[in-house]
Chain A
Amino acid sequence: MIAADLLVAQNVGFGIISLLMIVAALRVVTVKNVVHAALWLVIVLSGAAAQYLLLSAEFVAITQILVYVGAVMVLFLFGTMLTRARIGAESDLNNKNWALGIPVALLMLGVMSYVIIDGFGSERLIENPGDMTQVPVQVISDDIFGPYLLPFWALSFVLLVAVIGAIVLARKD
């Protein structure tokens, strides 16, 4: 796991951030308070943005902060406040069969780890780390509005439908 000969600072940063993300993600799925879970989720999403920066995708990282930490988290907190009268710890957040999730998740993790390690092993992400440059936004927009224009149209239609659908569903009539 440790590529000692290259990019030591990046590897240390990756380790710290990913440890933080995993601990926070475990707290999201185990904590007994919905608001606390939302705040732990903020740490996971910010850590993901930091990983995107390590992967030299600064535009995606900024979009992640704006959309997830800004907008989606506000939606979650609104949803929590509008659907629950009580604030504080709750004892019945889990299913009665919640323990079945542990072997399922561990089995999936085992299979996926085996496949990933078998498939990629100690392959480097990029042969020459000096070549790793930030992706300019212009290149991304050329990609979006060039070969991927049709998915972009479909995506804008999905967003329109989602806005209309959310209003129709949540409207009091």
Chain B
Amino acid sequence: MLTTQFLLLGAVLFCIGVYGVLARKNAVMVLMSIELILNSVNINLLAFSVRHGSVDGNTFALYIIAIAAAEVGVGLALVLLIYRNRRTIALDDLSEMKG
């Protein structure tokens, strides 16, 4: 196996996630795209962990999984709050802070 193939898979998933964050309006879909991005980073970390023969990449991947779980919890709580106050979770409509 080559290093490049894992890094390229991570890059493709990262870019698909970036497209999702930019293109989606529904807040839950944006959170899903962020999960794609975090997973692509984990693939890179584990590939480099094997490449350098070090276990640090596994440790960081576990930390990122925990951070992602916390992020989804807080993010969905925010989405629920927005939905309760405005009856919509379309991110385009949240423009009060616009100058």
Contact = CB atoms under 8 A, between A and B. Distances in A.
B69 interface: yes
B18 A104 contact: yes
Nearest to A38: B32
B94 interface: no
Given A95-B92, A106-B15, A123-B2, A34 B83 contact: no
Which of under 10, 10 to 19, 20 to 34, or 35 or more describes the interface residues of A? 35 or more
A113 B76 contact: no
Question: Chain B binding site: helix, strand, loop or mixed by DSSP?
Answer: helix
A60 B43 CA distance: 11
B96 to A, nearest CB: 18
Given A83-B28, A106-B15, 15 more contacts: A51-B6, A55-B46, A55-B50, A68-B65, A72-B35, A72-B72, A75-B76, A101-B19, A101-B21, A121-B4, A125-B3, A140-B55, A140-B58, A140-B59, A144-B62
Interface of B: 1-9, 11-29, 31-33, 35-36, 39, 42-43, 46-47, 49-51, 53, 55-59, 61-63, 65-74, 76-81, 83-84, 89-92
